[in-house]
């Protein structure tokens, strides 16, 4: 076990853009593996909508002579919904269903690319895009709002580019609680009008509520092939690296153990951890941790209820999914790949049980081992 994060290397703009593909967790998902929950009709609607969207986009691209889309042919869809309801699954499935040049990146990566390259060069870098998949659209500040509305305006001037994005926030509510969003309604309104909103309802598919997250004990059998760091040391290393490079770290990291996690009472640090966990989640890094407090108390209550509340909750939801892939109970007992199954919801598949992608029992474990070359 090493106690330092893998190093970050400088990449040129081309390398960065070439890397905008679905993350390891979503590399193999498809419309076929999305199982709509019959209790929430919006899920089947969203699935059908995205299938049609992909078919229409492919037809436009092939310029079929008599192609007439069956539905209003929106070129931009905004998948809205709570955490863990399958938005990113559908986003990545759309990516995999489309032909031609496409890019898959998070909104944070888009914002970083634009600030690093400049607007003109960023537009140029995505000029050949038939599809842009932008995960986790959210506006943190005024500069991002301006940038996003300008970028999208230019993108939609190109007739061939389609856009799909996901968010935990309806477009009209973007930025609320984070900055004086009321003053920027023109830009936010422009963004909102550009998209057809498709809302997905469900309880968190990761099936854990805020209060159910159990306190975690220390992990006696750490991985020998990964990194193990005490929380204060990890916090210091994360502070020294721009969050945009966390993805690069996660790609290189097989397993991570975080020791002595405790309540974080610095908002900037908490947001860095949230971003880091997002990347660990995306790359299916095997995570274990020991914590001095229950996970529900990881983030200080003072900022847990403000404009970033959803971010913190989503982080706990993802942490839970990651940890249930490899849970160490307080007594030291290891529970491999806890199975999350919701029952009796599956008329569409002819009854029976539905299993959550990525956290299933033996199969998920095998798949995971394969992905890690084990």
Ligand X SMILES: Nc1ncnc2c1ncn2[C@@H]1O[C@H](COP(=O)(O)OP(=O)(O)OP(=O)(O)O)[C@@H](O)[C@H]1O
40 phi, psi to nearest 5 deg: -125, 90
Per the DSSP assignment, residues forming a β-bridge with 261 are 291
In the complex, residue closest to Mg ion by CB: 88
The entry of Mg ion, ligand X, none near residue 311 (CB within 5 to 8 angstroms by kind) is: none
Here the tokens at position 158 are 């190109």
User: Dihedral angle at the C-alpha atoms of 272, 278, 284, 287, nearest 10 degrees?
Assistant: 40
Residue 357: contacted member of ligand X, Mg ion, none (CB under 5 to 8 Å, by partner type): ligand X
Smallest gap from Cβ 87 to Mg ion, in A, equals: 5
Token code pair at residue 277: 């966990």
Q: Does 226 bind ligand X (CB under 6 A)?
A: no
What does the block give as tokens for 258? 């975080």
Query: Distance between CA atoms of 111 and 127, rounded to whole angstroms?
Result: 16
Stretch that binds ligand X, among 110-118, 283-291, 310-318, 344-352 (CB under 6 A): 310-318
Check: CB of residue 184 under 8 Å from CB of residue 145. yes
**In this chain, which stretch among 28-36, 55-63, 98-106, 220-228 interacts with ligand X, using CB under 6 A?**
28-36
> Distance between CA 54 and CA 61 in Å, rounded?
11
Query: How near is the Cβ of 73 to Mg ion at its closest, in Å?
Result: 25
Strands (E), 190-254: 196-200, 227-230
Q: Do the beta carbons of residue 147 and residue 114 sit within 8 Å?
A: yes
Give yes or no for residue 357 binding ligand X (CB under 6 A). Answer: yes
Residue 248 touches which of ligand X, Mg ion, none (CB < 5 to 8 A by kind)? none
Residue with smaller CB distance to ligand X, 33 or 121: 33
Determine which residue in the list 107, 205, 246, 276 makes contact with ligand X, applying CB under 6 A. Answer: 205
CA distance 372 to 359: 16
The residue count of the chain comes to 374
Per-residue contact string for residues 256-295; x = within reach of ligand X by CB under 6 A? ----------------------------------------
Stated as kind and residue range, the H or E segment containing 259 is: strand 255-261
Residues 60-119 that bind ligand X (CB under 6 A): 81, 83-89
Min dist. Cβ of residue 225 to ligand X (A): 23
CA angle 110, 170, 267 (to 5 degrees): 65
Contact call for residue 148 and ligand X (CB under 6 A)? no
Tell which one of 23, 43, 58, 88 touches Mg ion (CB under 5 A): 88
Q: Which stretch binds Mg ion (CB under 5 A): 82-90, 120-128, 263-271, 274-282?
A: 82-90
Pairing verdict, β 341-342 and 354-355: antiparallel
Binding stretches for ligand X (CB under 6 A): 29, 33-36, 43, 81, 83-89, 166, 168, 205-206, 314, 317-318, 356-358
Binding stretches for Mg ion (CB under 5 A): 88
């Amino acid at each position: 076990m090493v106690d330092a994060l893998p190093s970050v290397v400088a990449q040129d703009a081309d390398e960065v853009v070439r890397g905008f593909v679905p993350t390891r967790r979503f590399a193999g998902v498809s419309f076929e593996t999305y199982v709509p929950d019959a209790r929430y009709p919006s899920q089947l609607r969203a699935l059908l909508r995205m299938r049609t969207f992909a078919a229409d986009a492919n037809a436009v691209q092939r310029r079929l002579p008599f192609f007439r889309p069956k539905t209003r042919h929106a070129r931009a869809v905004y998948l809205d919904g709570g955490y863990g309801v399958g938005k990113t699954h559908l986003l990545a499935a759309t990516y995999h269903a489309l032909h031609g040049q496409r890019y898959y990146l998070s909104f944070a990566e888009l914002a970083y690319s634009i600030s690093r390259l400049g607007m003109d060069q960023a537009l140029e870098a995505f000029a050949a895009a038939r599809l842009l998949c932008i995960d986790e659209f959210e506006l943190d500040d005024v500069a991002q709002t301006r940038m996003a509305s300008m970028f999208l305006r230019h993108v939609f001037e190109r007739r061939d580019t389609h856009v799909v994005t996901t968010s935990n926030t309806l477009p009209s509510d973007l930025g609320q609680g984070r900055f004086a969003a009321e003053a920027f309604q023109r830009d936010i309104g422009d963004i909102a009008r550009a998209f057809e909103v498709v809302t997905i309802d469900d309880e968190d598919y990761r099936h854990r509520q805020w209060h159910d997250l159990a306190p975690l004990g220390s992990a006696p059998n750490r991985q020998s092939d990964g990194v193990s760091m005490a929380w204060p040391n990890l916090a210091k290393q994360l502070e020294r690296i721009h969050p945009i490079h966390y993805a690069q770290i996660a790609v290189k990291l097989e397993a991570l153990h975080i020791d002595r996690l405790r309540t974080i009472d610095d908002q900037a640090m908490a947001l860095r951890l949230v971003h880091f966990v997002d990347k660990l989640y995306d790359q299916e890094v095997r995570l274990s941790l020991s914590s001095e407090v229950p996970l529900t108390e990881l983030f200080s209550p003072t900022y847990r209820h403000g404009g970033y509340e959803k971010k913190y909750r989503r982080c706990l939801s993802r942490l839970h999914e990651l940890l249930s892939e490899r849970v160490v109970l307080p007594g030291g007992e290891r529970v491999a790949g806890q199975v999350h199954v919701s029952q009796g919801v599956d008329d569409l598949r002819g009854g029976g049980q539905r299993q959550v992608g990525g956290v299933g029992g033996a199969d998920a474990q095998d798949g995971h081992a394969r992905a890690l070359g084990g």
